[in-house]
Each structure stands twice: as structure tokens, then as C-alpha cells.
Structure 1
């Protein structure tokens, strides 16, 4: 009888005592601040260079800032500059970016300067990629290197977790994004202890990173779209349809990635691959216009400022062009991440839906479009929901997104991801 009772007693996960968590606070704070400052430093330097390349220089030459000719010149020149870094700088700016995701490998210190330089040049030059993947990789490499020297007895696996959390917190201006991503990672792993015990140090690093970025750079994702009130049945239908269309569009990019990547790989040399990528990106920019350049965060704010300022056809062209530019930039060797351009694609898609069917509220269309595209591109449900919701500050949107995510997830789960193995095949 006693044995039966013991078998029926619920198992209780032992909590970590506070004295075991306290020593992690200072290292986590240090990692958070350093990672955030590096991210902000790279972005600020890239913005300064972007002003020179896209404003001061064409003005001095008497050329239109975003004329077709200048966009071609700048994108090809960026391909040449990044190609030189990949070719000549020690470490070759890290591994093939098409093989990297948010879960970054630990790179040796010799690789990191070249990767930072290639990322800054890419951000300033206009290719459709964001800073997240390479900066996470740089911060992970720095954290492991410096942390191992400062605290040799600390578990080696703690430093990548702290650096990734800190960088995500700085990128999105809140530790919530990092907590969601890390909890998703922990769910796939066999971890001991309570969830919040495992999240304690990374969440501390993420909080330090987000606060540092907020104090230094003031990031904001709110698009200031028309206010959205209580959701109705039509809003639920619209969000589900737009999210599914976004997921299908994203899957088109996922399916195309290995083929486009293989085509550029046939050129064999970075001084051929990257300038050729610049030529293709220049042609796409000529079709889609200057708003389809760069990582896309400032550009979506311009789109959202006037949701009725473009026709449905113009929004559709920008959606397709930006998605194609994302695939090309990720395939030819530019160092960058895919989240921010995917947000632009989803935003343009949502505004296209609003232009086609005025009954689709801009906030509903944008958030649902971003959700669907991000689910396909990142294959991370929490981060997709978070980014889609944070663009539209409205409690009613969150319930719609949770429902819309279900059919969209069924379209993407179990299918290839937008990340390649070293042999060029898609990760599943």
C-alpha cells in the first residue's frame, strides 16, 4: 500500500536555491551591457556610413540619391567590399551565412573582426538583411572567449546562452523576446530544474541588454497604425487568411533558397558571388524602389505612416521584390539575418490586403502578415507572435494572432527551414 502511494505521488522538480543563482547575476549583467553596446555600435557606425553613401556622396556628385543607376552602383560596390572582406580578412567573415540561424556557433576570435566589418558594410550598403544573425555570432564568440578568461570555472555552455539572450534583448528593446526564444530552446532540450531557474541568468542578461539599448539608442517597433478596437468575426477571418498567405509566401522563399544558393555557389569565389548578388539586388531595387533596400525597419515605418499611400499592386510588387531580395542576399554570401526583412515582407503584404479589401483593418493585416511570414522564415512560434504583436500595440490583436497562428503553423511545420546544411540541403 505504501509502495502504491509512492508510485502515485506526483514528481516535484527541485528548485535551485537562491545562493546558486546569485553568482550568475554579475556575469549576466556584464554580458548584457557589452553585447548591447556592440550591437548599437555596429548599427550606429553603419547608419553613419549609410548617410555618407546614400546622401552626401550622391549629392556631391549631383546624382539622384535613389536613382536606378546609383542603386546599382551602391549594391555592386557593397558586394565588392564585402567580397574583399570575405576573401582577404583573416577568418573570412565566418561560415556561409545561409547555414547560420539564431542559434549561433562559437566562432574563434580571429573570425570576429571580419564578421563585424562585413556586417557593417552590408547594413550600410543596402542589401535586404538585418544584423541579428552575425551580431549574435560575434557576441557569442566574444562571450565565450572573454568569459572563459575571466571565470574559467564557469560552465562553458552558459556564455552562449547569455550572449544570445542579451543580443535579442537589445535587438527588440525588451527581454521578453529573449525569454520566449530561450524557453522554446529549453523545451527542445532535456534540462533539469524549473523553467525560471534556467531562465534566470539569460533573462538577467537580456534585461541588461534591452535597458542598455533603450538608454543609448531608444529602439521602437510600434508602427503607429490606426487604432484597433474590439475584434470581430471579420477580423478573425482576415487575420487567419492573411497569416496563411504570408506563411505560403515565406515557404516559397524557403523552397527557393537552396536553388539560388547553389547557383551562386557555382561562381566559387566571393569576389564573383557577392558582386553578382549586388547586380541581382540592383535589378530588384529598380523594380521595387528604394523602400525595398536595407534591413527594412525604417522602411516599414514609412509604409505604415500612410497605409493608403500606395495601391494594392504597388504593395504586392514591394512584397515580392523584398522577398526575392532576401533570398538573393542570403544566398550570395552577404552576412546578415532574415527577421527584419521578413517583417517588411509581412507588413507590405498586410497593407496589400488592406488595399485590396478596405474592410481589412491595417493593424490586422500587418500583424497577421508579419506573423505568417515569420513563422515560415524563422520557424519559431513565440518570436513570430511577439514581433507581430509588438508592431501593433493593441490587446485585441493578440487574441487574433494566437488563433491565426494555428492554421499558419500547420502550413509550415515539418517542412524545410530557411537554413542550409554545409552540403547545401535544407535543414528540416
Structure 2
């Protein structure tokens, strides 16, 4: 006789989940790594081998416009012809959604690789999470018939987030938000343990194979003083407020592209717009932004305040356009780039503002506006500098920034094109 989940001991509930958690965590990391490596190799072909063979400057205005437009055409073909049209409209999806049918996944993966390699300002997190969730659910429910959908969704999301950030802490923080308002048997740590294990194995797999690092190697932060508190509050609040302009623009930009009616029109036009934005902001504003942000941080004094502001505006605009016209990708990494550019702009305008503090507070504000996830915003901002002295100020800076964004439209649309609140 089976024991009801609500009456089973914690040990009996948790032991059967150990092996699935480990398997899903490793698989999630391997899928993320495989897609990222494939996209990087294809990126080298598109942005180095091909322009060199044609005698065209790798990041010339001409090549950026041509390549982004061509990427739009390629992704448009996939969205048009692939089974399931490469998944739902990305403007209507979040980081964690219901499992997709398996037939959608090949098209979604191809569209993601093309997006990442072609220079579109989107990251891999949303589509890779969707793929891992779908595979975990489809295979898991066949291996363990009758198992809950939430189990496989939770393990896949945790494994992917752990692999993305190289630590299971991010997965645990996200799920503490998800689980806090949900009924269920066991203590919170019992319910967090399987996702934490999946996140840990995903992070360990990625660390052993790829050695990811988010530390921007910014100047050391000497520790807080009273002026830092004011700076942090102002920078984080401004970043959140400006980030909300992108959020509020999404339904209008999405509506404009929707009127083009066909992916073979909307995506090439979107690619052309992204190419023109790249020509305006420079090559650093292309791609997901994870590598490019390290170039910015390596030389905080290397650009003027106006140039930093331009890169921030272009990256934020590119994120809105890429999401609106149908490119498949995530919003966290482009938002990080925008936040770093804005923080360095604040330091360039007011040199008394510590560059490290300005960067983490600006990233925090932009992420709060774009993702509306407090823990992941705090965690991502903190992990960029790996300096514990910024944490107290960063936490305080999150309060006014959160008050600016909470209850307002999110950067996700309903099927009818209206913003989710």
C-alpha cells in the first residue's frame, strides 16, 4: 500500500528524489553547455571566418546590419516552418513556464543557436530552461508514472539556473520565492532539497567542464560609508525607473511587430533594426552581453559618460526589439550588460561614486525592473563583484528600487498583448 505524500516521513519522501535530481541536474548542464558551445562556434564562423573571407570588416556597420538582418531571416524561417513554430511568442513567456510538447524543441533549439550566434541581444536562459523542463517532464513521467508535473519542472529549472550561474544558491533563492506561497508537505528545506541537489549537480557539471566566472574584476570596494548609502539608493532607484521604460515600451513595440503578421517579415525587420542599433551602439552592444560586459568592466575609465549612456540605451532598446519581434532568448544577461553600462555612466558623471558600488546597484535596479525577481536580482548583482562588503548597502538599495517596480507591468505579455501585472 502506498503512503500518502502528506503523511510519509521526510526521509521516505526525499530518498526517491535523489537520483532523479542528480540526473536532471547533470543533463540540464550538458544541454546548456552543448548549445552554448555550438552557438560560440557558429558565432566565430559568422563574425570572423565569413567576413574575413569576404574582405569585409568583422564589426563594420555594413556587416552588423547584414548579419543581424540575415539572422532575422534565418530565425523567421525556423519560426515559420518548424513544428510548433519554435515555441510560443517569447514576449508572452517567463523564465519558468509549463512544459512544451517535445515536437517544439528542435525548432526552439535551432532558433536559440541562431539568435545567440547572430548577435541578437538575448541570452540563453529562457529557451534552454524551456527545453530542459520539457525533456525532464516528458522523460520523467515515463520513468516514474504518476509523478507530479511540478517535480520535473522544479528539478529542470533548478539544474539550468545552477548551471547558468555556477552555483546552486541561485536555484535555491528562486525556489524559495516560488514555494513560499504554495501548500505542500514537509518543511521548506525538505521541499527545496531536490531542486537544490539538481542545481548543485548542474553547477558542478558546468564548473568541471567549463569553469564559468561572473566576477568582473572591478576595483576593490573599501567598505561602506554614509555617502555610499545615498549613492546606492539613487543609482538603484534610477536604474529601476529607467528599466521600467523598457518594460512599458514592450507592449507597444510588440504590437507594432505583430501588425507585420508573419515571422518572415517581423523577424527580418527586427534583425535590421537590431543591426542599426548595433551600428549606433558599437559591437559591444551585440550578443547576449556576458563576454562583452567584462570588456566594459576591465576599463571603467575607458569611455565617456555619454558613451556609457548610449551603450545602456542601445542595449535596453535591443532587448525590447529582440523580444518583441520573435527572437528566442532570455533577458537576464542583456539586462546585466545594460546595468553595468549605466553604473559606469554614473561613476563617470560623479567620480566620487565608487564604480563597483555603482555597477552592482545599477544591475540590481535594471534586473528588478526586467525580471521582477528579487532574489535573483540581488544574487546576480552581488556575484558580479564577489566582495561581501557591498552586500549590506546592496540590500538597502533594493528597497526603494523594489517599491518603484512592484505592482507595475511586467516584461511579459498576455496572449492578447497586454502586460502582465
Q: Structures share a fold, TM > 0.5?
A: yes
Distance 1:104 1:397 in 2: 33
User: Cα RMSD (Å) of the superposition?
Assistant: 1.1
Structure 1 residue 22 displacement after superposition:
1.0
- Alignment of 1:253 with 2:246, yes or no, is yes
Distance 2:183 2:392 in 1: 31
Q: What TM-score comes out, normalization by structure 2 length?
A: 0.97
Unaligned ranges ≥5, structure 2: 1-5
Partner of 1:29: 22
Distance 2:329 2:176 in 1: 24
> 5 Å matches for 1:1-400?
16-400=9-393
Partner of 2:416: 423
**Per-residue deviation, residues 159-205 of structure 1 (Å, max 9, x unmatched):** 01100000000000000000000100112323332110000111110
SS at match of 1:146: helix
Distance 2:9 2:260 in 1: 54
Structure 1 residue 16 displacement after superposition:
4.4
On the 8 A contact 1:15/1:193 being kept in 2, the answer is no
SS at match of 1:310: coil
Distance 2:9 2:243 in 1: 41
Distance 1:154 1:283 in 2: 49
Distance 2:133 2:368 in 1: 25
**Per-residue deviation, residues 330-358 of structure 1 (Å, max 9, x unmatched):** 00000011000000010000000010111
On the 8 A contact 1:106/1:160 being kept in 2, the answer is yes
On the 8 A contact 1:91/1:111 being kept in 2, the answer is yes
Structure 1 residue 14 displacement after superposition:
9.1
Unaligned ranges ≥5, structure 1: 1-12
On the 8 A contact 2:10/2:186 being kept in 1, the answer is no
Distance 1:272 1:411 in 2: 36
- 4+ residue segments displaced more than 4 Å: 13-16
Q: When the two structures are aligned, how many residues end up with a matched partner?
A: 416
Structure 1 residue 15 displacement after superposition:
9.4
**Per-residue deviation, residues 60-118 of structure 1 (Å, max 9, x unmatched):** 11111000000001000000000000011111100000011011221000001110110
SS at match of 2:84: coil
> 5 Å matches for 1:393-408?
393-408=386-401
Distance 1:376 1:111 in 2: 30
On the 8 A contact 1:15/1:197 being kept in 2, the answer is no
**Per-residue deviation, residues 132-184 of structure 1 (Å, max 9, x unmatched):** 11110110000011111112143232001100000000000000000000100
SS at match of 2:149: coil
On the 8 A contact 2:91/2:413 being kept in 1, the answer is yes
